[in-house]
Amino acid sequence: MLKSLFAPIVGACASVLLVLNTLLWVPPLLVLAVLKLLLPIAGIRRVLTSALLSIAESWIAGNNAWMALTQRTSWDVQGLEALERKHWYLVNANHQSWVDVLVLQRVFNRRIPLLKFFLKRELMWVPFMGLAWWALDFPFMRRHSEDYLQKHPEMRGKDLETARKACRKFANQPTSVMNFLEGTRFSPAKQRQQHSPYKHLLKPKVGGIALALNTLGERFTAILDVTIVYPEGAPTFWQFLCGRVPRVVVRVRSVPVPERLLQTDYVTDPRERVAFRRWVNEMWRQKDEQISELLGVTGKAAQPAG
């Protein structure tokens, strides 16, 4: 019934359901997060972490429920066979919209461990949510631009070491480390500014995936290379809430972890950085070709929805 309403009404209903679902699960999550902060005892923290992860997965399940009630979206998803909740995964995806996060959560919730996103360190201080992300062991990362690192070479690698310490928390519990390699949402303007060689993608940033492989590489069962396509154009969050996303296409490709790169000294060895970038660029080239095939185009880049 909700799906047949006027689009702005659908958007309002979806927004209310999203808020109600959040109000249901965030308070208990914050209570447990405070307990985890105040009780630095390893055994207690492990129990609290498991409870926190269950709450986060229940929140995502609630989001999936209101999406089913309000959205007419057709979901074309392939590649979820053989995924396990008891395995470790490194998940990479292209990034076009804030809707990508909901798409990834819908596709993977309770199929693999909860997705842990790399977050900018500044987000740690966001009221309430910063505490929740910390309690869920999301890795925080301070990113410096290449220009800054050239002026301050002593800072090279320090941001990666901080994130590496965060990733070590995942060694004892199955985890899915999520990374948007582009570092920001795709747009034609950004594509032109970067002189990106790809039709549908920005240039990939390899720091996050490098540190994850260096820290947990032997734990990872596979790298899940995820391609998200919106055939009618990448939507805004409001367009999605209003039910204006007719179709979402998701392809998940399981890629073996490259053993040679597990020992790559990405930070200090320029030759190894070149080898790592070459491997990532090839994966990105294949993704770009796949997007062209899914869109049924040969030269036209993906555009935001109008």
What integer pLDDT is reported at residue 173 of this predicted model?
Answer: 86
Q: What is the DSSP letter of 82?
A: T
Inside any domain, residue 47? no
Inside any domain, residue 1? no
Tell me what the pLDDT averaged over the chain comes to. Answer: 87
Inside any domain, residue 215? yes
What integer pLDDT is reported at residue 154 of this predicted model?
Answer: 63
Residue 108's domain is classified under what CATH number? Answer: 3.40.1130
d(CA 134, CA 149) in angstroms, rounded, equals 27
Over range 86-112, report the average pLDDT: 96
What integer pLDDT is reported at residue 30 of this predicted model?
Answer: 94
- Main-chain dihedrals φ then ψ at residue 186, nearest 5 degrees: -65, 140
Inside any domain, residue 48? no
Domain range spanning residue 205? 72-295
Q: How confident is the model at residue 270 (pLDDT cuts 50, 70, 90)?
A: confident
d(CA 50, CA 123) in angstroms, rounded, equals 23
What integer pLDDT is reported at residue 125 of this predicted model?
Answer: 81
What integer pLDDT is reported at residue 298 of this predicted model?
Answer: 45
Burial of 284 (0-12, 13-18, 19+ CB in 10 A): buried
d(CA 140, CA 155) in angstroms, rounded, equals 17
Helical H runs in 187-254? 188-194, 207-216, 237-241
CA-only gyration radius of the chain, Å? 20
Over range 239-252, report the average pLDDT: 95
d(CA 11, CA 179) in angstroms, rounded, equals 29
pLDDT in tens, 199-227: 999 999 887 788 788 777 788 999 999 99
Over range 2-13, report the average pLDDT: 81
Q: Which two tokens stand for residue 113?
A: 């461990």
* Alpha-carbon 82 to chain mean position: 20
Apex CA 114: angle with CA 216 and CA 124, to 5°? Answer: 80
Domain count, the chain: 1
Inside any domain, residue 178? yes
Inside any domain, residue 149? yes
- Global pTM exceeds 0.85: yes
What integer pLDDT is reported at residue 276 of this predicted model?
Answer: 86
Inside any domain, residue 301? no
pLDDT in tens, 225-242: 999 999 999 999 999 999
Instruction: Determine how many CB atoms are found less than 10 A away from the CB of residue 125.
Output: 9
pLDDT in tens, 155-190: 666 666 666 676 777 877 899 999 899 989 999 999
What integer pLDDT is reported at residue 306 of this predicted model?
Answer: 47
d(CA 109, CA 94) in angstroms, rounded, equals 18
pLDDT in tens, 26-73: 999 999 999 999 999 989 999 999 999 999 999 999 999 999 999 999
What integer pLDDT is reported at residue 64 of this predicted model?
Answer: 97
What integer pLDDT is reported at residue 299 of this predicted model?
Answer: 44
* Alpha-carbon 56 to chain mean position: 15
Inside any domain, residue 62? no
